[in-house]
Amino acid sequence: MAERILIVDDDVDTLRLVGLMLQRQGYEIISASNGSQGVEKALAEKPDLVLLDVMMPDMDGYEVTRRLRKNPATSAIPILMFTAKTQIDDKVAGFEVGADDYLTKPTHPTELQAHVRTLLSRKPAKKSDELIMSTTDPKDRGYVIGVISARGGLGVSTIAVNLAAALYAREKGDVLLAEFRPGHGTLSIDLGIANQTALTEMLQSTIAEVNKEKVQASITQHNSGIKLLLASENPRDVNLISQVRNFEIIFKHLTTLARFIVIDLGDGLPLYAQKILPVCNEQMLVLEGTASSIQYTKLLLEEITNLGISSEKISLILNNRHRTEGQLAASKVQEKLEHEIAFTLTPAPEVFSQATRLHSPVVISQPTNMTAQQFLKIADAVIKREKGK
């Protein structure tokens, strides 16, 4: 998991340059442009480190440090003061109010990185009660399936919605589908549900505002029986993928609202997906039988296992969307990936097109079709694993 650094500085250029430099080192960056905002974000986001300017107009770095040290929720967060003030008395004042380290501007990037690494290495590991799912009793959680692919256009959303529909068809219990793809939502149009702004609004809210009641109120019901939390298709909302903590809180509440929860994580491996995937009960990776898709999927597999996820929990779904001789057979794909293909979907573009026109998953609109039966087979395997968990 990427460590999170809060940078507090009223100089926009410093925020941008230092933030970019540390982001390239793999850290997640949160920024605040004044002291008051810095205190608020530290309390809301609980960063792993605060990089703090001293000279700010509304509340200087010394006062920010005092407030953070007085609050039990932030008292243990390492603070690195980063300022142009070079006098010994200034440094002493910083240490006296509770700063852990002190650097003067300008400094070489290598020196800054070294100080950041040192402070982070001293920080004790987060206790289990601070982790994403820790405040939820395991008995109250549903069974969560994360669906993802290495690249876009491979049918992740189609598979996610049909898996949810198949689970509902088999069990007639609570099934919830969440489309965690702000700015790239497709299911609202495919299912004929307009004005899906609830996810966007929650991602734009403060952490305190994203409670279970708000998440529950944001869910809509499709006539197929499945519950939905869908993403906006507005391209500008793609910027909300940086709201990692909001995603975590929304996800935590969603896991208590249904027996089965299917999360459409789209493509790639953004930071919020890195946080969520390890907490899912199982992960489904979607690919095609083409050379490029296999290559990208192999890289994604490596990155996902690097998150500490057992390869046994990862199911590969070979989604051959088009009839073409360029696609390899499942056995060949398995050989190249060195990982079993759990399920293969045969090409059926006409079937999916008709389902979209009817604003319904294939499993519901054409239940006797071979494609629908393939999704029901996937659902049967998920139900078996859920019962044996």
pLDDT digits (tens, 9 = 90+) for 32-70: 999 999 999 998 889 999 999 998 988 999 999 999 988
Asked if the model's pLDDT at residue 138 lies above 80, the reply is: no
Position 129 confidence tier, pLDDT thresholds 50, 70, 90: very low
- Average pLDDT rounded to a whole number, residues 188-198: 89
**Which string of b and e fits 51-73 if b means at least 16 CB within 10 Å?**
bbbbebeebbbbebbbbbbeeee
Please state the pTM of the whole predicted model. Answer: 0.68
Q: Which of 300, 372, 336 is nearest to 148 (CA)?
A: 300
Using the predicted structure, report yes or no on whether residue 130 has a pLDDT greater than 50.
no
Alpha-carbon torsion (287, 294, 151, 3), positive or negative: positive
Q: How confident is the model at residue 86 (pLDDT cuts 50, 70, 90)?
A: low
Cα separation values, 103 from 97, 188, 366, Å: 16, 50, 65
Domains in the chain, CATH or no CATH each? 4-125 (3.40.50.2300), 138-387 (3.40.50.300)
Average pLDDT over residues 278-285: 96
State both tokens at 217.
Answer: 């109120």
- State residue 306's pLDDT score: 84
Of 1-15, 37-51, 134-148, 226-240, the least confident:
134-148
Query: How far is the CA of 150 from the CAs of 4, 46, 158, 383, in angstroms?
Result: 25, 30, 15, 26
Dist. CA 371–CA 163, nearest whole Å: 11
Count of CB atoms situated within 10 Å of the CB of 305: 14
Q: Tell me: pLDDT of 187 over 70.
A: yes
